[in-house]
Structure 1
C-alpha cells in the first residue's frame, strides 16, 4: 500500500484507476483513504494531486482518528457497561435467569436476563447478538410510527421499509419506492431519526436534493437543519463497537 508522508505524519492510501472517473477524487473514512483517478492519469499528476491536498488529508485523517477514539466501546457485556441508545449512553444490567434464551428489556437502562446455563466463554457474544436484535426491532417500530405520523398524511407512502446494516449511508430510497434505513440510527435521538426517515420519504416525490425537495422536508420538519447538523457532527457516536480488552 502506498504511503503519503507529510512531515512526521504517514498516511497509507489505496490508489484505484477508474475508466468511469472523469476527475480525481479522494475519500477519507474511518477505515481507509482511497484515491480514485481516471485510468489515463500519470504518476506525476497523482503526485501533484496528493501534494496539493496534503494539508487537507492530514486534517481529515486526524479528525477521523479523533472520531474513532470518541466512539463508544464495550469491552464486556456485563453489568455497568454503557451502550448508546437514542442519543444517550445507557447502563447495562445483567441478571441470571433460569430460562433458555437471553432476554432484553429496557427500564431506564438495559436489563439483560442471561441463562445460568450459558458458558462464560459464550456469554458476551450471545448478549451482544440479543441486544442487536432488540435494537433493530425497536428501530423498526420507531420508523413505522414516523411513517404513519409524517408519511401517510403527506401522501408519502413507501412500498416497503427495510432496516439494513449500511456502511456509509444513513438511508436510501430506490425507484422501487423501498425505503432503506441504517439500523445504527437507533443510537441517535428520536428527533434525529425522525429527520432521517422524513428525508427518505421525501425522496418518494423528489429524487434529487433540489429546492423542491428541501422545501418539502421543511414543510414537514421546520427545524430539519439542526437535526441534519447533529447527524453530521455525531456520526462517530452512532455505533455499538465491541473491543477486546488489553490483557
Structure 2
C-alpha cells in the first residue's frame, strides 16, 4: 500500500483465534481484530500481506453512488433516477423510474434517505410475513436498524433484525437474508440441518451471498 494513507481501527476479541481484517464501508477504515495474545505488530504485518485486498476494497468504496440530481439510487435492485424539483412542495414522490425530490437541493440526500427508510418497513415486513408463512414459522417481531457488519440477526426469543438498507437490494437477496434469519427460529446455529432448511426456501442463496459480497459495501456507503 505504498503511498496510500489507510485509516486503521484496532479491536481485540477474547474469542478470536486469528487476526482478521474488515473494511468499514462508511468511514473507509480498516478494522484489525486481534486475538488476546497477538501484537499490533503482527496485525500490521497481516495488513501488509493483504495490501492488494485492502486497495481493491478502498477503490470500490471511492466509487460509491452520490445522492444528487441526475444520479441513481436502487430500490429493490432497480435504479431510480433522482430528479431535483426545487420549486415543488410535494416532498419525495416516484413516477415510474424517476424519484422526484422537492425543496432545497441542499436537503436532497436526507430526503432520499428518508424515502428509502419509509419504504423499508412495509416492503421488508411484507417479505418477512410471506416467507415466515411459507416456512410455517412465527417471528416475535421485526426490528429495522442501520447496521454496519450484518444484514440480519435473530434472537432466541424470536425477534428478527434486518438492515433497512436491504430495501435497496434485489428481492431474491432480501429473501435469502430473511430466510436465513427465520431458519434460526428452528435451528439456532449453522448446522447442516440449518443450511438444509435455508436451501429449501432460498435455493439461490449462493448467488445472493455473492451479490452481497460484491455490492453490499456500496449500499452501506449510500448516505
**Interval containing the TM-score (normalised by the shorter chain):** 0.7 to 0.9
Q: Which deviates more, 138-147 or 157-166?
A: 138-147
Match for residue 166 of structure 1?
A: 147
* Structure having the higher Rg: 1
User: Which secondary structure state, in structure 1, belongs to the residue aligned with residue 148 of structure 2?
Assistant: coil
How far residue 183 of structure 1 moved from its aligned partner, in angstroms, is 1.2
Q: Is the 8 A contact 1:24 1:35 kept in 2?
A: no
Q: Distance between the aligned counterparts of 1:24 and 1:227, measured in 2?
A: 27
Going from structure 1 to structure 2, the CA distance change for 1:72 and 1:211 (only over 3 Å counts) comes to same
User: TM-score normalised to the size of structure 2?
Assistant: 0.83
Going from structure 1 to structure 2, the CA distance change for 1:66 and 1:200 (only over 3 Å counts) comes to same
Q: Distance between the aligned counterparts of 2:138 and 2:12, measured in 1?
A: 41
How far residue 93 of structure 1 moved from its aligned partner, in angstroms, is 2.1
The CA RMSD measured in Å over matched residues stands at 2.6
User: Which secondary structure state, in structure 2, belongs to the residue aligned with residue 228 of structure 1?
Assistant: helix
Q: Superposition pairs for residues 1-247 of structure 1, below 5 Å?
A: 11-17=6-12, 20-21=14-15, 23-29=17-23, 30=25, 31-38=28-35, 40-41=37-38, 46-48=40-42, 50-51=44-45, 54-56=48-50, 58-74=51-67, 76=68, 78=69, 80-95=70-85, 96-97=87-88, 99=89, 102-112=91-101, 114=102, 120=104, 123-125=105-107, 127-239=108-220, 241-242=222-223
How far residue 11 of structure 1 moved from its aligned partner, in angstroms, is 4.5
User: TM-score normalised to the size of structure 1?
Assistant: 0.76
Unaligned stretches of 5+ residues in structure 2: none
Q: Is the 8 A contact 2:75 2:169 kept in 1?
A: yes
User: Which secondary structure state, in structure 1, belongs to the residue aligned with residue 73 of structure 2?
Assistant: strand
User: Which secondary structure state, in structure 2, belongs to the residue aligned with residue 234 of structure 1?
Assistant: helix
Unaligned stretches of 5+ residues in structure 1: 1-5, 243-247
How far residue 182 of structure 1 moved from its aligned partner, in angstroms, is 0.7
User: Which secondary structure state, in structure 2, belongs to the residue aligned with residue 13 of structure 1?
Assistant: strand
Q: Distance between the aligned counterparts of 1:102 and 1:92, measured in 2?
A: 13
- Work out the number of aligned pairs and report it: 219
Deviations 1:2-52 (A, max 9, x none): xxxx6555645344556x2564523221432233445555xxx54345435
Q: Is the 8 A contact 1:85 1:186 kept in 2?
A: yes
Q: Distance between the aligned counterparts of 1:52 and 1:81, measured in 2?
A: 38
